């Protein structure tokens, strides 16, 4: 019954609804993939705190054992601690840490732009379907020589309302997903900057006698 109803909507809505249906599948697929990929992105705060405490005690080996590779900030911090332990020059370390941090953020941002485009374009496609539906209604009204018959206008109006509704249904989840994922990426980037910045302060701090 549900499949039959969907096929009926596709038939009534025409090409616009077909395009919106494809965009909806793409959007939902990206959202599911990003939800899986983002699991644990903001995790590891306690491990990071423990690792930095070990660095403060000049126990870098213990600090590396505290960290896992589940979150971007842990991966970048782990590399930075290992680099400090191997006495890599500060300027080289800062450049490489920045590069690795940017790479982590770039990976997290993948797919979000597509969601933003879908959220932007879907209502416009729905509006296009609305305009096409109204054009069809007026064409049928003209062919009926001005006879104001509800059945003559019903097809075009139904198409217009359907495409508008489908456009909004596609756009809303995409907009929410893009907004939530972007906020998570910003928090992950801030976590990377904060943890590495604290490491630099601890490394450059004078040792207590």
What is the mean predicted confidence (pLDDT) over 153-181? Answer: 84
What pLDDT is recorded for position 186? 94
Angle at 61 between CA 59 and CA 67, to 5 degrees: 105
**CB under 8 Å to 22, separation ≥6 — which residues?**
none
For residue 59, the model assigns a pLDDT of: 84
* Mean pLDDT of the residues in the chain: 83
Q: What are phi and psi of 71, to 5 degrees?
A: -120, 155
Please write down the HEC assignment for all residues of 131-189.
Answer: HHHHHHHHHHHHHCCCCCCHHHHHHHHHHHHHHHHHHHHHHHHHHHHHHHHHHHHHHHH
Mean pLDDT of the 173-198 span: 93
Instruction: Work out the average pLDDT over 66-95.
Output: 86
Single pTM value for the model: 0.81
pLDDT tens digits, residue range 27-47?
Answer: 999 999 999 988 888 888 888
Torsion region of 48: left, alpha or beta (phi above 0 gives left; psi -120 to 50 gives alpha): alpha
């Amino acid at each position: 019954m549900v499949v039959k109803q969907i096929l009926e909507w596709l038939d009534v809505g025409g090409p616009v609804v077909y395009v919106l249906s494809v965009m909806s599948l793409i959007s939902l697929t990206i959202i599911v993939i990003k939800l899986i990929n983002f699991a644990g992105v903001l995790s590891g705060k306690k491990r990071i705190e423990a690792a930095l405490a070990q660095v403060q005690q000049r126990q870098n080996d213990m600090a590396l054992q505290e960290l896992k590779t589940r979150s971007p900030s842990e991966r970048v911090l782990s590399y930075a601690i290992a680099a400090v332990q191997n006495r890599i020059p500060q300027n080289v370390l800062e450049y490489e840490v920045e590069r690795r941090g940017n790479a982590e953020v770039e990976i997290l941002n993948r797919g979000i732009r597509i969601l933003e485009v879908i959220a932007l374009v879907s209502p416009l496609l729905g509006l296009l379907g609305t305009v096409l539906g109204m054009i069809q209604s007026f064409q049928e009204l003209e062919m009926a020589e001005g006879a104001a018959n509800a059945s003559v206008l019903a097809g075009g109006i139904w198409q217009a309302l359907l495409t508008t509704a489908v456009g909004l249904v596609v756009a809303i989840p995409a907009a929410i997903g893009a907004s939530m994922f972007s906020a998570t990426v910003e928090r992950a980037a801030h976590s990377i900057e904060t943890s590495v910045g604290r490491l630099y302060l601890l490394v450059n701090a004078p040792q207590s006698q």
